[in-house]
Amino acid sequence: MKLDTEYLNGTRFLLALWVFFGHFYQTIGGNKFIHMPFISRILLSASCAVDGFMIITGFLMAYNYFQREEYEPFNDFSTAKHFWIKRFFRLYPVYIISILVAFIFVVTISSSRVDVFEFFIGTRQGSTWSIEHQSITGLISHLFMVHGLIPQHITSILGPAWSLSLEAQFYALFPLIFVFIMNGKKVQQNRILIFALILPIVAIGCTKILGIYSSHGILTTFNQPSFILFKGYLFLLGIVLAAVALNKISNKYLMFTLLVTMPFINSITNLLIAFLVIFLLLDQLKSVIHPIFFSTLDAIRKILSCKVSKFGADTSYSLYLIHQIIIAPLLLLIITTFHLGKFPTILIGLIASLFMCIMVSYLLHITIEKPFINIGKNIIKGSPQKYISKTA
């Protein structure tokens, strides 16, 4: 059974743009500079977009595992090995480039943020940004993607990279999780229920015990939920959604997972979850919703599945990683070069930084992501040199 998941292309691009606009807004001072009812709340809730990425990740990993079950058995170690190889070559090359560039220019980027903040707010005090810094231990922890487990290094080089450490933890565990919830080709439904019930409670317990906050600008513990137990329930929700969409389990298990998960999540993330569930199960809902409502939702889904959305999906990963490297230095360059007022600077800076971020992201996609994805595929096939020789 194959699902129409193309709408996730546009969704991923919108989520990446949400993070971009949210961080741009923070860079110019956020609420301290201009407060926009409702819009400010959305922009300052860009972490909800990361929640969306986690649900989509859980869904896509489970969906692909289910689709390949005939020739890649869940309990075969080679299946897990192939999964890890594909994830490594898909994510690590662009990630390592982003980390190294951010590490080299970390002082420039951090000081640019402070200068931009001062231009818009009139003071250097009160910036909500964590201050990145150069350290060898920070670099090593980032290179091995374990920085999310070390409080002082979670955002010490590149802010958005905290979620990559979290995703790496999920990828390391995912094949084991899948074996645990499967019995041959059948999903162990009781184990799904146990996971769905326990993980939100564990997340709340971890938050209370370990904490996710900063005090007076000094990191006291986890300043981002970068430990898998903080966000495990979102990955599980994606897995359950894939199982329900592929008719591996009934809808009641999705309903149970939603009922025990959504009370622990803020309202914006809950709206995002509703969006993902409705659009994925839209064809199944056709018989129970009004035709006009269905047609409207279907039209939106088609827009999210178009070629432009495919371009957006191709650039979304790099856009998510590199935008903070570009925004503040480019804004500072515009401020010091053109000496414009605040609002013209915002307009020019927004257009210029968005254009540059997307172009750099697309360049990274075609020169780094695609070639390394193909190298990973050929390693799995046993002939990495076949592809390398073609691109040499």
What pLDDT digit, counting tens, does each position of 139-179 carry? Answer: 999 999 999 999 989 999 999 999 999 999 999 999 999 99
Task: Judge whether 346 lies within some domain.
Answer: yes
Q: Are 183 and 238 in contact (CB under 8 A)?
A: no
Q: What is the pLDDT of residue 211?
A: 80
Query: Of 220, 262, 206, 203, nearest to 237 (Cα)?
Result: 262
Q: What is the pLDDT of residue 392?
A: 35
Kindly write down the DSSP assignment for every residue of 353-392, as one continuous string: HHHHHHHHHHHHIIIIIHHHHHHHHHHHHT-HHHHHHHH-
Predicted confidence (pLDDT) per residue in 61-120, tens digit: 999 999 988 888 888 999 999 999 999 999 999 999 999 999 999 999 999 999 999 999
Q: What is the pLDDT of residue 197?
A: 93
pLDDT surpasses 80 at 185: no
Q: What is the pLDDT of residue 315?
A: 96
Predicted confidence (pLDDT) per residue in 60-70, tens digit: 999 999 998 88
Mean pLDDT within 18-38: 94
pLDDT surpasses 80 at 350: yes
What's the rounded Cα separation, in Å, for the pair 340 and 160? 30
pTM for the predicted model, two decimal places: 0.93
Task: Judge whether 392 lies within some domain.
Answer: no
> CA 255 → CA 199, 251, 259, 261, distances in Å?
16, 6, 6, 10
> CA 46 → CA 18, 22, 43, 163, 171, distances in Å?
6, 6, 6, 13, 23
Total of domains in the chain: 1
Task: Judge whether 271 lies within some domain.
Answer: yes
Task: Judge whether 1 lies within some domain.
Answer: no
Comparing 192-201, 276-285, 310-319, the range with the smallest average pLDDT is: 276-285
What's the rounded Cα separation, in Å, for the pair 332 and 340? 12
**H-helix or E-strand containing 187?**
strand 186-187
Comparing 122-136, 236-250, 285-299, the range with the smallest average pLDDT is: 122-136
Question: Residue 283 — very low, low, confident or very high, per pLDDT cuts 50/70/90?
Answer: confident
Tokens read off for 231? 């966000």
Task: Judge whether 390 lies within some domain.
Answer: no
Mean pLDDT within 269-288: 90
pLDDT surpasses 90 at 285: no
- pLDDT over 90 percentage in the chain: 74
Q: What is the pLDDT of residue 79?
A: 93
Domain assignment of residue 331, given as a range: 7-385
Q: Are 91 and 317 in contact (CB under 8 A)?
A: yes
Mean pLDDT within 216-243: 85
Task: Judge whether 32 lies within some domain.
Answer: yes
Task: Judge whether 29 lies within some domain.
Answer: yes
Kindly write down the DSSP assignment for every residue of 295-309, as one continuous string: HHHHHHHHHTTSHHH
Question: Residue 214 — very low, low, confident or very high, per pLDDT cuts 50/70/90?
Answer: low
pLDDT surpasses 60 at 59: yes
Q: What is the mean pLDDT of the chain?
A: 90
Alpha helices, H only, 182-306: 189-210, 228-245, 251-261, 267-280, 282-285, 291-303
Task: Judge whether 308 lies within some domain.
Answer: yes
Question: Residue 387 — very low, low, confident or very high, per pLDDT cuts 50/70/90?
Answer: very low
- Count other Cβ atoms within 10 Å, centred on residue 20: 25
